[in-house]
Amino acid sequence: MWVRGIRGATTVHNNEEEEILQAAVELMNELVAKNDVHPEDICSVLVTTTHDLTATFPAKAIRQMPGWELVPLMCSLEIPVQPSLPKCIRLMVHVNTSKRQDEIQHVFLNGAKALRPDIIAEKKG
């Protein structure tokens, strides 16, 4: 059993609470489904947003998912390096798993697919 990091990212169109919360849940659901992860497997989750997302904390939506009440979550701002992808939510999920590093499936949705085209291409082929 190892602790592995699983990366995920997505974007939203608007700085609106409901859209941010829905995007965070969609991203987390996709990440746990692709990696067969359960809340009790998770050590912690770091959630970052770009400076243009101020309507809510994305972790709020994850905390409200059934079974996720005890998972440690923390939100932070992404470093504002230019040019960076706007309106982006990123996750770093630390999990206890027996999977090898090359078996972990990182998840990039919407405009965030542009962040790691190498990973997306790897998983397709």
Residue 125 clears pLDDT 70, i.e. is over it: no
Residue 107 clears pLDDT 60, i.e. is over it: yes
DSSP string, 2-57: EEEEEEEEEE-SS--HHHHHHHHHHHHHHHHHHHT--GGGEEEEEEEE-TT--S--
pTM of the model: 0.92
Q: How do residues 58-93 score in pLDDT, each as one tens digit?
A: 999 999 999 999 999 999 999 989 888 999 999 999
Domain of residue 112, CATH code: 3.30.1330.40
Per the structure, the complete domain to which residue 89 belongs is given by 2-124
Give the closest residue to 98 by CA, choosing from 56, 24, 49, 37.
37
Residue 116 clears pLDDT 90, i.e. is over it: no
Q: How many domains does the chain have?
A: 1
Residue 120 clears pLDDT 70, i.e. is over it: no
Residue 46 clears pLDDT 80, i.e. is over it: yes
| Coil, strand or helix at 9 | strand
Eight-class DSSP state of 15: -
Q: What is the pLDDT of residue 118?
A: 79
pLDDT interval class at 34 (50, 70, 90): very high
